[in-house]
């Protein structure tokens, strides 16, 4: 709970102050707290230590901490120094994470859509099958048999022969990754990850004791395959976690030959491949995707969910596992949740019996929202480097002056919640200052309003920027 943050580590997460130094530093630390990079209960370094590590004066760090204390983000504990707290009451958990503090604000922190039309009917149809379920205790540690069969057939139809026994139904894709981590990771195990990725999945591995080994980012995609192969050969890695299809957040797709090379390296080094395919179906432009990573390595753990193309509120995901890894997964579950809600599995089974209408409705919506957002950005924020993603649920925008955290802080003042780029980076978060993830899972009207606010924030922040120069050197 109460990790102590060293002065060096905190200093590394900060950029040199601009404008009024103490205010800017307090602002930067506030963002680190708000977006979860510094968690509640963490102990900050002393004012003296922080001054030494950042090169600002002791008076400045004293004012930084006073500022944070006044904002209710820091309190002093007897003998424990300054401890971070996120004051309750000011903002509830939901308002902090999912929705802005007041109803007039907009949150673009999540890439999660409302339910597509047709899902309500699936709920009704599932209700008809409910009595059979209510006459059981309802515990389904590996999943509802009918759903496991449908999911197995779905893999088979994609060229991956699968038996229902190989499916473990979980409470979403993140819950699947977390389960894999808890089942297989031991304290100190190395896990290869993409240096840009979905942060909660990385946190799930860390929470299970893993040491993350990020593969460096290259210009045109998140995979430096050569570096990854070298890393795997250099020492034992328990697992590698990758998102090869419409990678979150970059939307990149791993090529067939890259998949082959990585799968071979993992097989040779005994590394467990944990492949997140939860974006694979969000194929907006009907791109011909390379075969699933599971085709290259039979021992892969494939992770997927209904959250993107169907609905996140279902909280249903699943793992396709090699036969001998199913039981350890189910056993790990016995210490955590005993199974996924039974009725939701009936609902998903209903959808999967005839998925086209629901999926088509979802994809049509995403496609027009994507096009709308890309057009808005071209018109109102032409400085941003925006490519139209062929799939996935967000635009990964390049920021010419590497100011993601400050831009996000400014947007917040305009009632727009965003996730700062560094949040998606493991290893060298500072590199994330050059990026901003902009999800298009909300309606065109909301996107209009959001881009309007973002443009205002962008204008407002440019004035007091320090010249971009030394900061570039920090990018890994």
- Restricted to residues 371-400, the positions that interact with a second copy (CB under 8 A) are none
State the minimum distance, in angstroms, from the CB of residue 328 to a second copy: 5
Give the C-alpha separation, 363 to 356, whole Å.
Answer: 10
- Which parts of 393-455 are beta strand (E)? 394-398, 416-417, 435-439
Q: Which is nearer to a second copy, 337 or 383 (CB)?
A: 337
Of 325, 267, 316, 327, the closest CA to residue 293 belongs to 267
Q: Which is nearer to a second copy, 207 or 234 (CB)?
A: 207
State the minimum distance, in angstroms, from the CB of residue 265 to a second copy: 21
Among 97, 227, 390, 474, binds a second copy (CB under 8 A): 97
Residues 347-366 interacting with a second copy (rule: CB under 8 A): 347
Tokens at 140, concatenated? 């389904």
Q: Which is nearer to a second copy, 21 or 169 (CB)?
A: 169
- The strand pairing partners of 275, in sequence order, are 242, 302
- Residue appearing with tokens 């995609």: 221
Among 311, 366, 425, 440, binds a second copy (CB under 8 A): 311
According to DSSP, the β-strands at 435-439 and 190-194 are unpaired
Letters for 191-210 (x = contact with a second copy by CB under 8 A, - = none) are ---------x--xx-xx-x-
Residues 228-287 interacting with a second copy (rule: CB under 8 A): none
Instruction: Name the segment binding a second copy (CB under 8 A); options: 12-20, 110-118, 294-302, 449-457.
Output: 110-118
According to DSSP, the β-strands at 301-305 and 317-320 are antiparallel
State the minimum distance, in angstroms, from the CB of residue 358 to a second copy: 12
Q: Is 304 in the site for a second copy (CB under 8 A)?
A: no
Q: Find out whether 158 and 289 touch, Cβ atoms under 8 Å.
A: no
Tokens at 330, concatenated? 């189910």
- The strand pairing partners of 194, in sequence order, are 215
State the minimum distance, in angstroms, from the CB of residue 257 to a second copy: 31
Q: Which DSSP string do the residues of 122-168 spell out, in sequence order? A: HHHHHHHTHHHHHTS----SS--HHHHHHHHHHHHHTT----GGGEE
Q: Is 313 in the site for a second copy (CB under 8 A)?
A: yes
Among 11, 66, 112, 375, binds a second copy (CB under 8 A): 112
Q: Is 114 in the site for a second copy (CB under 8 A)?
A: yes
CB atoms within 10 A of CB 118: 18
Q: Which is nearer to a second copy, 221 or 427 (CB)?
A: 427
Among 57, 76, 127, 360, binds a second copy (CB under 8 A): 127
State the minimum distance, in angstroms, from the CB of residue 170 to a second copy: 8
State the minimum distance, in angstroms, from the CB of residue 468 to a second copy: 32
Judged by CB under 8 A, how many residues of this single chain contact a second copy? 83
ω into 249 cis (within 30 of 0): yes
Among 18, 62, 101, 326, binds a second copy (CB under 8 A): 326
Q: Which is nearer to a second copy, 57 or 331 (CB)?
A: 331
Instruction: Name the segment binding a second copy (CB under 8 A); options: 118-126, 284-292, 294-302, 418-426.
Output: 118-126
Give the C-alpha separation, 278 to 243, whole Å.
Answer: 8
Q: Find out whether 169 and 148 touch, Cβ atoms under 8 Å.
A: yes
Residues 133-192 interacting with a second copy (rule: CB under 8 A): 133-142, 165, 171-172, 174-175, 178, 182-187
Q: Is 408 in the site for a second copy (CB under 8 A)?
A: no
Q: Find out whether 124 and 256 touch, Cβ atoms under 8 Å.
A: no
Residues 6-65 interacting with a second copy (rule: CB under 8 A): 36, 39-41
What's the helix, strand, coil split of the chain in %, to 5? 45, 15, 40
């Amino acid at each position: 709970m109460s990790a102590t943050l060293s002065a060096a580590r905190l200093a590394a997460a900060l950029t040199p102050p601009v404008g009024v130094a103490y205010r800017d530093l307090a602002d930067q630390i506030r963002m680190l707290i708000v977006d979860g990079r510094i968690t509640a209960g963490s102990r900050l370094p002393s004012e003296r230590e922080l001054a030494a590590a950042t090169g600002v004066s002791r008076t400045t760090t004293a004012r930084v901490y006073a500022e944070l204390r006044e904002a209710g983000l820091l309190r002093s504990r007897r003998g424990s120094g300054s401890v971070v707290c996120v004051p309750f009451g000011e903002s509830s958990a939901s308002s902090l994470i999912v929705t802005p503090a007041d109803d007039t604000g907009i949150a673009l922190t999540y890439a999660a859509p409302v339910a597509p039309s047709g899902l309500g009917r699936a709920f009704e149809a599932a209700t008809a099958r409910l009595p059979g379920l209510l006459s059981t205790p309802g515990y389904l540690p590996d999943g509802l048999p009918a759903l496991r069969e449908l999911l197995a057939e779905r893999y088979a139809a994609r060229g991956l022969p699968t038996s229902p026994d190989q499916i473990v139904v979980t409470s979403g894709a993140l819950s699947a990754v977390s389960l894999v981590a808890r089942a297989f990771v031991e304290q100190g195990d190395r896990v290869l990850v993409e240096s840009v990725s979905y942060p909660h999945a990385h946190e799930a591995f860390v929470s299970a004791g893993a040491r993350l080994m990020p593969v460096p980012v290259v210009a045109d995609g998140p995979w430096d395959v050569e570096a990854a192969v070298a890393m795997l050969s250099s020492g034992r890695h328990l697992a590698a976690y990758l998102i090869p299809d419409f990678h979150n957040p970059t939307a990149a797709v791993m090529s067939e030959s890259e998949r082959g090379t990585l799968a071979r390296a993992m097989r040779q080094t005994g590394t467990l491949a944990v492949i997140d395919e939860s974006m694979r179906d969000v194929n907006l432009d009907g791109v011909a995707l390379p075969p699933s990573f599971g085709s290259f390595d039979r021992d892969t753990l494939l992770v997927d969910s209904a959250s993107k193309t169907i609905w996140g509120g279902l909280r249903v995901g699943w793992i396709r596992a090699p036969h001998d890894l199913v039981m350890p997964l189910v056993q790990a579950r016995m210490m955590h949740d005993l199974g996924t809600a039974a009725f939701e599995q009936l609902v998903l089974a209903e959808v999967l019996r005839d998925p086209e209408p629901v999926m088509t409705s979802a994809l049509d919506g995403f496609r027009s929202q994507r096009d709308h957002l890309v057009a808005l950005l071209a018109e109102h924020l032409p400085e941003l480097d925006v490519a139209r993603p062929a799939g996935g649920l967000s635009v990964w925008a390049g920021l010419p002056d590497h100011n993601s955290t400050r831009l996000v802080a400014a947007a917040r003042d305009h009632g727009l919640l965003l996730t700062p780029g560094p949040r998606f980076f493991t290893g060298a978060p500072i590199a994330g200052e050059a990026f901003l993830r902009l999800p298009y899972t909300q309606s065109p009207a909301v996107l209009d309003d959001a881009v309007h606010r973002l443009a205002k924030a962008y204008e407002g922040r440019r004035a007091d920027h320090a010249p971009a120069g030394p900061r570039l050197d920090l990018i890994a």
